[in-house]
Structure 1
Amino acid sequence: MNGKFQDISYMKNGEPVWIPVTIRVEDHITIPDLDYTNIENPDQFLEDYSSTISNIPMDMSKPLWEFHLLNIKTSKAESVLLAKIHHSIGDGMSLMSLLLACSRKISDPDALISTISFTKKTVDSMASAWWLIAGFWFMIRVTFTTIVEFSKLMLTLCFLRDTKNPLLGNPDDGIQSWKVIHRIISFDDVKLVKNAMNMKVNDVLLGMTQAGLSRYLSAQYHGCTMSQKKKILGKIRVRGAVAINLRPAANIEDLADMMTKGSKCRWGNFIGAIIFPLWIKSENDPLEYIRRAKTTMDRKKISLEAFIFYGIIKFTLKFFGGKAVEAFGKRIFGHTSLAFSNVRGPDEEISLYGHPITYVAGSALVGSQALNIHFISYVNKIIINLAVDTTTIPDPHQLCDDIVESLKTIKSAAQKRGSHKMEV
């Protein structure tokens, strides 16, 4: 077991210190005594239960993890396992690796799941002859882009805040009440758009998020004409803090390797963040949202913004302590409207101690944003997870509907574009 799962935190000289303790498993597992026969809407019950435990502070007197077993049949599963784990234990990639290490293939109950492989493009000899020139030009681009993006990060830290909009909470008030919901969509739909537009999955997810937010925000300005709404959306600044995995390998690593001393793939929190300007417009062409997402993300990938963000956190923690890191995070996250992340899950169905898993949902309730959007893939599904502050966003289901509907619109446009190319 990873050390943090056996440790508790206590304050020493104003700073948290981790010490190992003896684990009492029964203290970390909750099986609520409920009259399941009288639950009329199991999906709503699950949503309410998840939101309730999200708003309860963790018990700091024991290791910071807990499991809730609900023997209730929902529209998506025969029963539900809820895990509540403190962010200090590990990031999304670490926790996904832990899940896979505890799982087995449904097709072969005795076999561990295979790690996800990525194909690498080969470079022909003619192209490799120009590697010096290309490398020099690339370094110039990296340097220039990093300076620009670092400057934007510092401006955000100091004073640059998103325009007041229906998604932006008040960081001074803190999160009042979390509401956690999820929706399952087809991974094949996302792949269709990805292949049609020659993009990454993350580009499509960011693009459909931009389209969904644009649709949602447009509907918030009641009484305005369409032209007035376009002007309003054209003037507001909405940005998201996008989590970036900094591990050298992008695939899901085997847990044992990840926890091995000296492994290049670290267990724990090894993520940076970039400040992503969202394209919030009323576009006639829905594909423009994913084009804009790809253009912005390509520029961000060239920069070292995510590594600088991580470095600032580590430097601040080492020399100024946890309170300074908390103040840094409050400034950055309080000046942006939302948090966004995407974690890739297994490509094949898995079981947990003999119980087949139908989907994996999860949210990271960190930062002071009123909106957290997280995508998790599982086989042929993508699970959209929203965690919202209901005092700022009272209708999260409508927001989720807008994101789902935007994917349908983008998919339809991509199919029409593909059929038009075939006709030509």
Structure 2
Amino acid sequence: MDMSKPLWEFHVLNIKTSNAESLCIGKLHHSLGDGMSLMSLLLAISRKTSDPEALPTTAATRKHVDSNDKDWWLVGRFWFMIRIIFTTVIELFKYCLTLCFMRDTKTPLKGKTGDRVQSRKVIHRIISLDDVKLVKNTMEMKVNDILLGMTEAGLSRYLSRKYDEGMVVEKKKILEKIRLRGTVIVNLRETTKIEDLANMMAKGSKSRWGNFVGIVIFPLWIRSEDDPLEYVQRAKSTMDIKKLSMESLICYGLIKFAMKMFGEKVVVETLVKRIFDHTTLAFSNVMGPDEETSFFGHPMSYVAASALGGSQALIIHFVSYVNKIIINLAVDTTVIPDPHLLCDDLVESLDIIKLAALEKGVHKMEV
């Protein structure tokens, strides 16, 4: 972006697409804020379609309340703290290995390292949030677990096709040897509910405006699995470990400290850039409005978001809107020339996982 001009651009395209009557495209510099901040800004200038005077809302996050008695509560808390410390040490050790030398396997998804700015193709696909919730309820997981499992299954399908020249047994061995990790963007605010802009910028607000996110290195399960539900189960087990670890918060603090000590340029070029160079893709999930919303009197059909930067050839963003989830891919076409095929694999993987979950639900009812 031209740094001599304001760090945002808006383009209104009065053209009809398959999903909307027209488009409004915003391009904003990341220094303005992270996904939570920008989504709260969008909500602050939008209104409910059903009530033009009311601000849109998002679903509240419910916290689990432990009902154990007091005697076991102390023991449970002590064991919980031990697990946090042990998991955090292991994950930070892996983080240091990645910073130093541990790279992902070279695959058809792995971008080229260097300082060049890639021209990216951005595509999106809309899927049903109800389908994701069906799998979520059947498997007793969270939406984020299902989306990560769907991503693992879709990437496995795509890579399996790329290595389709050899025998089935050889192809499975190739996939099993692949180390493929994603940098997952984690919101570090105390509350996960997207606040409206006025509340976020208010003094003493728990939901801070700006960039308050951590980077977690997430290993992706790339296999040719016969049971599609194995992907979501693996995603959940890995995500449970990441939730237990304080990796994201500690890394955020270290990066902030290094920026003050050595300057922003040194930190970006040595720390953040190496993380992106040594991993394959970036992944994030932002919760949007759970009811129909209008933007300056114009009803919104969907909201898509992505990031354009870094050396990774693939950036995957999920944004929810009412009963939809928008899959948005930002792809370096010199590395991934067929992004629509990759997007199809993600969508088809969800369909296969949903069918398997339905069969499991029917089996439970019969038992």
Task: Give runs of aligned pairs for residues 5-404 of structure 1, distance below 5 A.
Answer: 58-124=1-67, 126-172=68-114, 174-327=116-269, 328-404=271-347
Q: Is the 8 A contact 1:175 1:389 kept in 2?
A: no
> Can you list the C-alpha shifts for 1:176-221, whole angstroms capped at 9, x where unaligned?
3201000000000000000000000000000000000000001111
Q: Distance in 1 between matches of 2:170 and 2:117?
A: 31
5+ residue gaps, structure 2:
none
Q: Distance in 1 between matches of 2:170 and 2:263?
A: 47
> In the TM superposition, what is the alpha-carbon distance from 1:115 to its structure 2 partner?
4.4
Instruction: Indicate how the Cα distance of structure 1 residues 115 and 347 shifts in structure 2: closer, same or farther if over 3 A, else same.
Output: closer
Deviates more, 1:219-228 or 1:98-107: 219-228
Identify the residue that residue 13 of structure 1 maps to in structure 2: none
Alignment CA distance shift 1:380-1:246 (3 Å): same
What CA distance in whole angstroms lies between the structure 1 residues aligned with 2:231 and 2:147?
10
Taking the aligned partners of 2:115 and 2:93, their CA distance within structure 1 comes to 28
Q: Cα deviations across residues 96-120 of structure 1 (Å, max 9, x unaligned)?
A: 0000000111111111123431233
Question: Match of 2:31, SS?
Answer: coil
Please give the per-residue CA displacement for 1:118-162, whole angstroms capped at 9, x wherever unaligned. Answer: 2333333x4344221111101100000000000000000000000
Q: Report if aligned partners of 1:197, 1:414 keep a CA contact under 8 Å in 2.
A: yes
Residues 115 and 254 of structure 1 are in contact (CA less than 8 Å); yes or no, is this contact kept in structure 2? Answer: no
Amino acid at match of 2:229: L
* Cα distance in 2 for residues equivalent to 1:400 and 1:115: 27
Shift of 1:173: 5.7
Instruction: Tell me the secondary structure at the aligned position of residue 69 of structure 2.
Output: helix
Give the aligned residue type for 1:324. Answer: V
Q: 2:50 is aligned with what amino acid?
A: S
Distance 1:81 1:195 in 2: 35
2-side partners of 1:213 and 1:320: how far apart? 38
- Size of the alignment, in residue pairs? 366
User: Following superposition, which runs of at least 4 residues in structure 1 exceed 6 angstroms of deviation?
Assistant: none
Which amino acid in structure 1 is aligned with residue 335 of structure 2?
T
Q: Distance in 1 between matches of 2:242 and 2:134?
A: 24
Alignment partners' CA distance in 2, 1:250 and 1:192: 22
Larger Rg: 1
- 2:62 aligned counterpart, secondary structure: coil
The whole-number CA distance in structure 1 between the counterparts of 2:58 and 2:107 is 42
Supply the AA of the counterpart residue of 1:217. L
Question: 1:122 & 1:300 partners in 2: Cα distance?
Answer: 21
Q: Which has the higher contact order (CA 8 A, sep 6+)?
A: 2
Contact 2:58 2:287 in 1 (8 A): no
Partners of 1:334 and 1:221 in 2: how far apart? 23
Give yes or no for contact 1:180–1:387 (8 Å, CA) kept in 2: yes
Contact 1:175–1:370, Cα closer than 8 Å, also in 2? no
Displacement after TM superposition at 1:368 (Å): 1.5
Deviations 1:225-282 (A, max 9, x none): 1111100000010000000000000111121111113322110100001110100000
Q: Is the 8 A contact 1:169 1:370 kept in 2?
A: yes
Provide the C-alpha distance between the structure 2 equivalents of 1:258 and 1:115, rounded to a whole number of angstroms.
Answer: 15
Identity over the aligned pairs, expressed in percent?
68
C-alpha distance in 2 between matches for 1:122 and 1:177: 47
Q: Distance in 2 between matches of 1:407 and 1:115?
A: 24
C-alpha deviation, 1:223, in angstroms: 1.5
TM-score (norm 1): 0.85
RMSD: 1.1
Q: Structure 2 vs 1, CA of residues 390 and 264 (structure 1 numbering), >3 Å: closer, same or farther?
A: same
The answer to whether the Cα contact below 8 Å between 2:117 and 2:309 also exists between their aligned partners in 1 is no
Q: Distance in 1 between matches of 2:58 and 2:17?
A: 30
Gap change, CA 1:221 and 1:102, over 3 Å in 2: same
SS class of match (1:244): strand
Write the distance in 2 (CA, Å) between the matches of 1:298 and 1:211.
19
Give the aligned residue type for 1:123: D
Counterpart amino acid of residue 35 in structure 2: G
CA distance in 2, matches of 1:208, 1:114: 27
SS at match of 1:176: coil
Q: Report if the CA contact (8 A) 1:211-1:289 is conserved.
A: yes
Aligned-partner Cα distance in 2 for 1:370–1:360: 23
Contact in 2 for aligned 1:91/1:271 (Cα 8 Å) = yes
